[in-house]
Structure 1
Amino acid sequence: MTEYNQTIRYIPQQTFSYAAQNPAPTQYSQSIPIEQLSPYNLNQQNSYKNPKQNVPQDTNVNKAQINNLNSQTKRSQICSKQCVVICLICIGILLLIAAAFTVPLVVILTLPTDSNGSLSLYGVQLNLNPSSLPNSWSQCYTATYAANMGTANLNTILSACNKNMLLLGCRQSGHTIMDAAAMGYRADVLYNCATTSNCRNVANGVGWYYSDVYSWGFANGTDSVTRSSCDTSSTNPGYRLCWYTQNNAGYRCGSAIISNTNYEKVIYHSN
């Protein structure tokens, strides 16, 4: 059997510090059969395939597909713009419809109503027909200007006219239309001014004053009063009403000064 002799030598490394202290290892040789070496190619290089070689250097792209994609993209952009325009048009139409219904709705909502206890008239009314009042209103007192309205009579009157809203008015005897009238909440209509000459409580566009020992009445909300004891002011006289409450009869219905039976005092009330 042919043998291949290979000698492996172990040579002490003198560069290390411990080499001088330890004896050098024994040299020996070992014979390895050449048959055991023949299968091995010591000079064989590993075969390696570059993975990049598997990637084709030239990629053929279908130009028709690219053109198709570009066309689809353009169509999508056009559709998006059209959708935006259509949405804006729809919003504009909805705004116009809303505006068309808003004005009548606001008018309806701002109209005074009486069903929930609110006042249906604002300010002093001239030539008021009581039939135009809501159904909740009813007459609770009437008497001529010759009737006395002292403290005792006032207690009786206010017991009969006991609801939350009051309307004071005056008219010629035998007539339905009131020359001057105004409505307000009970607390405003009965605002106690005692004997203060220029006292008035402005509410619902009306200047109210009351005293069971002086006078009771109203004037236009922007006008002053001069109570002595009834109001004698001449500014906008048609918008004024005053009744004596100190055991005297009469005094004014608009610009008319009365102490007889030619005119009537009228009170309505409502909740």
Structure 2
Amino acid sequence: MCIFEELMKTLVPTLATLAFLAGLAPASAMPFYGPSGPQTSVPIAMVTARGWSECFSGPYGEFGPSIESVLGGCTGDLLMMAGGATNSGELDVLAWAPTSDVTFDTGDSNTPHDANGTGWYFNDNYSWGFAEQGGALYRNSCDYGDGDLFNTPDPLRLCWHTSGGFLAGGWRVGTVNFLNNSSEYTRYLFTADSPSAAEAPEPASIILTLTGMGYLVRRFRSRGKKA
């Protein structure tokens, strides 16, 4: 019994600490939302529940604000562009990458800057948007490289006009185009910090540890009874 008593003196404080940590940890902790490449039909609530914060939204048909002021409110090192029907609660299409990639100046060229499975383009006096990595662009000034001015069949594309350092009207979200004067669609930016590798232990890890230590206690208890 002496061995068992000594073991309990060591284990009880440890078990109490682990139980406390398990209570602090969220019961349904959600992993960071970080898919590769453009995504379609994503609930806004899911995006904001999994590491992202909305830092800008406005009607597609609105001119302004300045891009500098918009990005000033998006303070994380990751940036997501998205668009969807106004008040729908859903994003028709989104894509994300490090902010430095999303805002990499490509001038007025049709050569994108590739990052995280997405071809990005940006210039504060031409257009800003994305397509799936490898997709051909045709910017005039917004992109319809997937078809022509009146036919934009690719759902994985998004484009906003820019002018003189300001956001200008629309132009497209997925397959929907000619949104330069539309209030029926909203454009969004979300910001996030890169997930840290050194995070608090997950509940599952704590439970596994508690289970293993409980097994050891039972083993020593049974050995004590036999003695």
TM-score normalised by structure 1 residue count = 0.53
Shift of 1:177: 0.7
User: SS of 2:169's equivalent?
Assistant: coil
Shift of 1:146: 1.0
Shift of 1:187: 1.0
Counterpart in the other structure of 1:205 = 117
More contact order relative to length (CA 8 Å, sep ≥ 6): 2
CA 1:135–1:234 in 2, change beyond 3 Å: closer, same or farther?
A: closer
Shift of 1:131: 2.3
1:124-203 matches, within 5 Å, as 124-133=38-47, 134-149=49-64, 153-196=66-109, 198-203=110-115
Counterpart in the other structure of 2:139 = 227
Give per-residue Cα distances to partners, 1:121-168, cap 9 Å, x unaligned.
Answer: 11100001122235431100000011114xx61111010112100111
Shift of 1:255: 1.1
Give per-residue Cα distances to partners, 1:39-96, cap 9 Å, x unaligned.
Answer: xxxxxxxxxxxxxxxxxxxxxxxxxxxxxxxxxxxxxxxxxxxxxxxxxxxxxxxxxx
User: SS of 1:256's equivalent?
Assistant: coil
- 1: distance between equivalents of 2:50 and 2:174? 26
Instruction: Say how many residue pairs are matched.
Output: 153
1:26-45 matches, within 5 Å, as none
- 2: distance between equivalents of 1:179 and 1:165? 20
Gaps of 5+ in 1: 1-112
Tell me if the contact between 2:60 and 2:169 (Cα under 8 Å) persists in the aligned partners: yes
- Output the amino acid matched with 1:262: E
- Output the amino acid matched with 2:35: L
- Output the amino acid matched with 2:90: I
User: SS of 2:96's equivalent?
Assistant: strand
1:89-128 matches, within 5 Å, as 114=32, 120-128=34-42
Shift of 1:242: 0.1
1:56-75 matches, within 5 Å, as none
User: SS of 1:174's equivalent?
Assistant: coil
User: SS of 1:250's equivalent?
Assistant: strand
- 2: distance between equivalents of 1:190 and 1:226? 18
Aligned-pair RMSD on alpha carbons? Answer: 1.8
Shift of 1:222: 2.0
Give per-residue Cα distances to partners, 1:191-241, cap 9 Å, x unaligned.
Answer: 100111x12011111001111111000001121111111112225521100
User: SS of 1:183's equivalent?
Assistant: strand
Larger radius of gyration: 1
% of aligned pairs identical? 26
Shift of 1:265: 0.3
User: SS of 1:224's equivalent?
Assistant: coil
- Output the amino acid matched with 2:135: D
- Output the amino acid matched with 2:51: S
Shift of 1:252: 0.5
- 1: distance between equivalents of 2:104 and 2:136? 16
TM-score normalised by structure 2 residue count = 0.63
